[in-house]
């Protein structure tokens, strides 16, 4: 009995490991002819959660990126500073060329206020002020930016400054910027700031340069950029019915229309479909030597699978033939597999709903049970 119990425990542990693994199988992209023509030299449309590429055009050529650089600046700041911290504007931030908040050396603002100035007004001086506040110098901050790029797998990206003014070697790709934006929009503070259309901070009235916020349904964030060397650059994110997409265009004279057209095509063809809800009870497992004969199992988390509209989505419950008592609520007993067109694309752990204690009477010998029944 003890030997069998050890085998079962090993089996359950193996299933627990398998249930913890989330598999996102690649989904074939649509044919090139099914997508709108875009003016950009480089472009990409991805699904934010999985990174699945839906459309791409020369997405791996490094190019100057102008002020979409500030997406990385904002991310590094959010990960290394509190929004309520007070920033004293350093002298090197005063008079930075290009778009500006017209900050004055010695002026004080919060990190939050400067992030609004960075992402809405695209203030180059705000970028320098934040960089010096977080890292002590622009150079040290740029080091943090490049470290973060490496962490995110942005293999062809290199930063030279925190604002995006033209500099030799300062470059990225459409694919890398899509990875960056997917990470940015996972931060609620970033989304709150980047989705604001208008705000007044430190006696300054700011208007978001992202025109899609007011014109395209589902837009939640974005960053614009322009220099003569980079042309018009644009990185945005939009969400409908739980499906979140990221679009990047580099050197694109018709970027607003291109983003809208790519999003419309993406939302028309793909969806994120609910397969199981957290706490849903799909089955039960027999319990050996328990005070109850079985224990129900529930999904440890919900699952929404990314798929084409029209794909066949099914689920499959994988449980052992039985388990031994004692069972505790929360014990992982099996898994639920989510299949897209017959292929497993996600797994969800199935946990015991309640405790099932061992039935001590079943452990008594025949003569002990007889004595107990006779009251001896």
Instruction: Give residue-wise pLDDT tens across range 190-245.
Output: 999 999 999 999 899 999 999 999 899 999 999 999 999 999 999 999 999 999 99
Task: Give the pLDDT score at 125.
Answer: 98
pLDDT of residue 34: 78
Mean pLDDT of 355-376: 66
- The per-residue pLDDT for 368 is 58
Cα 238 to Cα 177, 216, 222, 242, 324: the distances in Å are: 15, 9, 9, 10, 49
Task: Give which of 21, 7, 12 is closest to 330, Cα–Cα.
Answer: 12
How high is the pLDDT of residue 105?
97
Paired with 222 in beta bridges are 236
The confidence band for 6, taking pLDDT boundaries of 50, 70 and 90, is very low
Which residue segments constitute the domains of the chain, with CATH numbers given?
2-25+275-362 (2.60.410.10), 39-253 (3.40.710.10)
* 359 touches 316 (CB < 8 A): no
pLDDT at residue 4 is higher than 50: no
Residue percentage of the chain with pLDDT more than 90: 86
Reading the block at residue 60, the tokens are 């791996």
| Residue 73 Cα distances to 19, 162, 261, angstroms | 37, 6, 28
Q: Which residues contact 374 (CB under 8 A, 6 or more apart)?
A: none
Mean pLDDT of 111-119: 98
Q: What is the pTM of this model?
A: 0.82
Q: In which residue are the tokens 């580099």 written?
A: 250
- Write down the pLDDT at residue 236: 98
- pLDDT for the residue 364: 55
What phi, psi does 311 have (nearest 5°)? -65, 150
Q: At what angle do helices 70-80 and 138-151 cross, to 10 degrees?
A: 90
Catalytic residue positions?
Answer: 67, 70, 122
376 has a pLDDT exceeding 80: no
Mean pLDDT of the region 139-159: 98
Averaged pLDDT for residues 253-276? 96
Span 344-356, average pLDDT: 96
**Separation CA 251–CA 226 (nearest Å):** 9
Report the 10 Å Cβ neighbour count for 73. Answer: 29
Query: What pLDDT score was predicted for residue 359?
Result: 87
Average pLDDT, stretch 113-125?
98
């Amino acid at each position: 009995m003890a030997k069998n119990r050890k085998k079962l425990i090993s089996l359950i542990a193996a299933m627990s490991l398998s249930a913890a693994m989330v598999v996102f199988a690649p989904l074939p992209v649509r044919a090139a002819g099914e997508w709108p023509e875009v003016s950009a030299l480089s472009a990409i449309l991805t699904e934010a959660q999985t990174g699945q590429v839906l459309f791409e055009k020369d997405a791996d050529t490094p190019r100057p990126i102008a002020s979409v650089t500030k997406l990385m600046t904002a991310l590094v700041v959010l990960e290394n500073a509190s929004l309520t911290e007070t920033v004293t504007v350093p002298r090197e931030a005063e008079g930075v060329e290009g778009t500006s908040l017209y900050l004055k050396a010695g002026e004080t603002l919060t990190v939050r206020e400067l992030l609004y100035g960075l992402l809405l007004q695209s203030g180059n001086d705000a970028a320098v002020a934040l960089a010096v506040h977080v890292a002590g110098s622009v150079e040290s901050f740029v080091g943090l930016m490049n470290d973060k790029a490496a962490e995110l797998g942005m293999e062809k990206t290199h930063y030279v400054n925190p604002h995006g003014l033209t500099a030799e070697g300062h470059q990225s790709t459409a694919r890398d910027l899509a990875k960056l934006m997917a990470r940015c929009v996972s931060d609620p503070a970033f989304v709150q700031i980047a989705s604001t259309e208008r705000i007044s901070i430190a006696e300054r009235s700011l208007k978001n340069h992202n025109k899609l916020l007011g014109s395209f349904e589902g837009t939640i964030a974005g960053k614009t950029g322009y220099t003569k060397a980079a042309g018009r650059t644009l990185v945005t994110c939009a969400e409908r019915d739980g499906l979140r997409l990221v679009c990047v265009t580099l050197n694109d004279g018709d970027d607003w229309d291109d983003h809208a057209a790519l999003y419309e095509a993406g939302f028309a063809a793909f969806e994120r479909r609910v397969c199981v809800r957290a706490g849903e009870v799909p089955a039960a497992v027999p319990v050996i030597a328990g005070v109850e004969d079985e224990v129900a199992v529930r999904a440890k988390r919900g699952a929404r699978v990314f798929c084409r509209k029209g794909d066949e989505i099914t689920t499959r419950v994988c449980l052992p033939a039985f388990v031994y008592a004692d069972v505790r609520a929360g014990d992982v007993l099996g898994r639920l597999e989510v299949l897209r067109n017959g292929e497993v694309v996600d797994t969800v752990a199935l946990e015991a709903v309640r405790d099932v204690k061992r039935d001590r009477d079943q452990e008594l010998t025949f003569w002990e049970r007889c004595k107990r029944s006779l009251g001896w």
